[in-house]
């Protein structure tokens, strides 16, 4: 697992109170990991802070799964 993906999983585990084994790439924040709309906003903010990036709202709307987040952040960082 890349540094980015392990850090993303770590943040999700912390913020959503789920087990790391649940945070698989296909897992949807809202459908599988119990996040509500505010949890999702908080997650995005935490990604911005941790990876020192800015995620515009129109991009944030498209980040729905663990895999989406990893791909997006990797794209921003490379």
Partner 1 sequence: MKLRRVVVTGIGTINPLGNNIEQYFENLEKGVSGATPITHFDASKFKTQFACEVKGFDPNEHFDRKEARKYDRFTQFALVAAKQAVQDAGLTDAEEGIAEGIDKDRVGVVWASGIGGIETFFNEVTNFAKGDGTPKYNPFFIPKMIADIAAGHISMKYGFRGPNYCTVSACSSSNHAFIDALNLIRWGKADIIVSGGSEAAVNPAGIGGFNAMQALSTRNDDPATASRPYDTGRDGFVMGEGAGALVLEEYEHAKARGAKIYAEVVGGGMSADAYHLTAPDPQGAGAARAMQEALKDAGLKPEDVDYINTHGTSTPAGDIPELTGIQSVFGDHIYKVNISSTKSMTGHLLGGAAAVEALACIMAIDRGIVPPTINVTERDPQIDERINLTLGTAQKRDIDCALSNTFGFGGHNSTVIFKKVQ
One of 28, 41, 53, 77 touching partner 1 (CB under 8 A): 41
- Residue closer to partner 1 by CB (options 49, 77) is 49
- Residue closer to partner 1 by CB (options 2, 14) is 14
Q: Counting contacts by CB under 8 A, is residue 73 touching partner 1?
A: no
CB of 60 to partner 1, least distance (A): 12
H/E stretch holding 53: none
What's the chain's Rg over C-alpha atoms? Answer: 11
Contacts for 64 with CB less than 8 Å, ≥ 6 apart: 28, 29, 30
H/E stretch holding 16: helix 3-16
Q: Give the active site residue among 14, 36, 39, 59.
A: 36
Q: Counting contacts by CB under 8 A, is residue 38 touching partner 1?
A: yes
Active site residue 39: no
2: tokens are 């890349």
């Amino acid at each position: 697992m890349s540094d980015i993906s392990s850090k993303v999983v770590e943040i999700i585990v912390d913020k959503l109170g789920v087990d790391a084994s649940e945070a698989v790439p296909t897992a949807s924040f809202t459908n599988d990991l119990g996040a509500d709309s505010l949890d999702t906003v908080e997650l995005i903010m935490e990604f911005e802070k941790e990876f020192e990036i800015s995620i515009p709202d129109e991009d944030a709307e498209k980040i729905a799964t663990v895999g989406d987040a990893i791909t997006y952040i990797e794209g921003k960082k490379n």
